[in-house]
């Protein structure tokens, strides 16, 4: 092998190891975040602090707002200063948030901790999506994205399942576990290689970029940078509301899922954990194979089936109370999301220009974050005004609307390629 070939192989192996490190950090952080948002906080805010449905939704929204507000700036920071300092700071803030929840039960500090959790987790998706998609290649976008979501889904799914087995009145044991997971994330973030930036290719060479943006001072340069990145996008205007609505549908479910299972279905903690395990296992087992099939056979059929199955399952979910019926709906929903996630996000990835991956992924993830924030607030309002079933019905309807809207979002060549 020629020296240049050896160098590229070594760089590729280093890049793969780097992406695996980021995916491991994602798993740990999402374990913490999922456990807090799904298992600990809903019951703590509802049963202990006696927050109203609206206030619970608002508290969750503050977490997502903290996450969302920093995603675009973090995308820019990844392009400029690299992954390691950004990711390390995020995991450190996440651990600080868990510490606040452990050592203070004052409502003010609980709300502040939720907002801080959002700030701490904000580097996660821009870092991982930018690094993995830049090193995965355009012909394997669905496979790469399904792997990312597998790491995310494993963390956010296993976290609540584990924590449900360690419930106690004062939440000391769950929070100790989450502190340990946060500490492991910090240790792993410290091992990330220095100097890795989103403008580096898999072969270790920097992407070719145009002249540096011209502006007056730092703020002017940042504005010019984002203006240049936005000008490189080739998407139709309907793309942006679709990004918003896709996560809005998910945001509607998060604050009410645990409460619905306990107060409406009257499931025990073990039954609820089993439901999460079944739904998560179905999605996790199918996601990577679906990603490979998307890369091989095209995207349209998988995204269409995903929207239909997910939307239909959510509309049918509230029609039954029997455990077997609910399990069937959870399996249907898990299958729908396994089809939808790789296909939809592969379509989104086609709109990201290579030269400014960090900034554009941060921008897209900001829009998606706004959808999650709005969904969380709307969920509490719907629950207070129209009952426990309303968030599920609205979420399913939104997904069915997106099934139709996707036909008008992307050029036809992308849907059939």
| CATH code (residue 51) | 1.20.1250.20
- Inside any domain, residue 206: no
Q: Is residue 227 part of a domain?
A: no
Instruction: Measure the CA–CA gap between 120 and 124, rounded to whole angstroms.
Output: 8
**Better-scored residue on pLDDT, 245 or 7:** 245
pLDDT at residue number 149: 80
In a domain, 388, yes or no: yes
- Residue 20 makes CB contacts below 8 A (sequence gap 6+) with none
Angle between helices 217-231 and 357-386 (to 10 degrees): 80
Residue 126: both structure tokens together: 């821009």
Residue 256 clears pLDDT 60, i.e. is over it = yes
Per-residue model confidence (pLDDT) at position 239: 81
More confident of the two residues 234 and 149: 149
pLDDT tens digits, 161-190:
788 777 665 678 888 999 999 999 999 999
Least confident of 46-55, 137-146, 232-241, 289-298: 137-146
CB of 127 closer than 8 Å to CB of 87: yes
Tokens of 69: 């507000």
Measure the CA–CA gap between 326 and 313, rounded to whole angstroms.
10
Considering only CA atoms, which of 126, 355, 128, 131 is closest in space to residue 225? Answer: 355
Domain assignment of residue 24, yes or no: yes
Within a domain: 217: no
First CA to last CA distance, the chain: 35
Banded pLDDT at 212 (limits 50, 70, 90): very low
pLDDT (mean) for 125-139: 71
140 has a pLDDT exceeding 60: no
Which has the closest alpha carbon to 362: 66, 69, 72, 67?
72
CA 251 to chain centroid: 11
- pLDDT, residue 253, reads 86
On whether residue 213 sits in a domain, the answer given is: no
Cα–Cα–Cα angle for 157, 161, 164, nearest 5°?
A: 140
Tokens, residue 163? 């924590």
pLDDT at 205: 45
Backbone angles phi, psi at 319, to 5 degrees: -85, -10
In this prediction, residues 126-135 reach a mean pLDDT of: 76
Half-sphere exposure of 111 (CA within 13 A, CB side): 12
- pLDDT at residue number 346: 77
Mean predicted confidence (pLDDT) in 69-79: 74
The pair phi, psi for residue 206, each rounded to 5°, is -70, 150
User: Which of residues 388 and 202 earns the better pLDDT score?
Assistant: 388
Instruction: Output the pLDDT for position 1.
Output: 43
* Predicted local distance difference test score (pLDDT) of residue 211: 43
Q: Is the pLDDT of residue 217 over 80?
A: no
Task: Identify whether 178 is part of a domain.
Answer: yes
Q: Give dist(CA 398, CA 182) in Å, integer.
A: 35
pLDDT of residue 209: 42
211 found inside a domain:
no
Q: Is 2 exposed, middle or buried (0-12, 13-18, 19+ CB in 10 A)?
A: exposed
Full domain range(s) for residue 288: 10-198+232-416
Q: What is the mean pLDDT of residues 377-405?
A: 89
Q: How many domains does the chain have?
A: 1
Instruction: Give the number of residues written for the chain.
Output: 417
Q: Quote the DSSP letter at residue 216.
A: S
């Amino acid at each position: 092998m020629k020296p240049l070939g050896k160098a590229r192989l070594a760089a590729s192996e280093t890049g793969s190891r780097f992406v695996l490190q980021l995916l491991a950090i994602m798993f740990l952080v999402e374990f913490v975040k999922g456990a807090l948002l799904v298992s600990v906080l809903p019951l703590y805010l509802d049963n202990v602090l006696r927050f109203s449905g609206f206030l619970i939704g608002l508290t969750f929204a503050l977490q997502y707002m903290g996450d969302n507000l920093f995603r675009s700036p973090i995308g820019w920071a990844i392009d400029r200063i690299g992954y390691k300092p950004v990711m390390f700071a995020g995991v450190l803030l996440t651990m600080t948030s868990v510490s606040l929840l452990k050592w203070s039960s004052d409502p003010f500090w609980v709300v502040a901790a939720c907002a801080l959790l959002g700030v701490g987790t904000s580097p996660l998706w821009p870092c991982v999506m930018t690094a993995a998609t830049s090193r995965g290649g355009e012909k394997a976008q669905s496979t790469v994205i399904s792997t990312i979501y597998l790491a995310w889904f494993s963390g956010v799914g296993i976290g609540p399942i584990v924590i449900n087995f360690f419930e106690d009145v004062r939440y000391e044991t769950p929070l100790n576990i989450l502190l340990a997971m946060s500490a492991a994330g910090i240790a792993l973030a410290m091992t990330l290689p220095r100097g890795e930036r989103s403008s580096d290719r898999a072969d270790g060479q920097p992407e070719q970029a145009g002249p540096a943006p011209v502006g007056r001072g730092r703020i002017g340069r940042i504005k010019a940078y984002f203006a240049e990145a936005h000008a490189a996008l080739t998407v139709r205007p309907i793309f942006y509301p679709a990004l918003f609505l896709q996560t809005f549908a998910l945001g509607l479910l998060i604050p009410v899922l645990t409460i619905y299972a306990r107060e409406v279905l009257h499931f025990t903690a073990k039954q609820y954990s089993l439901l999460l395990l079944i739904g998560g296992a179905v999605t996790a087992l199918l996601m990577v194979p679906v990603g490979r099939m998307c890369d091989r056979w095209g995207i349209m059929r998988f995204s269409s089936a995903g929207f239909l199955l997910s939307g239909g399952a959510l509309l049918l979910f509230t029609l039954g109370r029997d455990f077997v019926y609910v399990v069937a709906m959870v399996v249907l929903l898990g299958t729908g999301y396994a089809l939808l996630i790789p296909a939809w996000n592969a379509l989104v990835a086609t709109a990201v220009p290579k030269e400014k991956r960090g900034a554009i992924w941060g921008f897209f993830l900001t829009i998606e974050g706004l959808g999650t924030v709005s969904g969380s607030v709307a969920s509490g309002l719907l629950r207070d005004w129209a009952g426990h079933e309303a968030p599920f019905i609205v979420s399913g309807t939104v997904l069915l609307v997106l099934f139709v809207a996707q036909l008008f979002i992307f050029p036809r060549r992308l849907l059939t390629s």
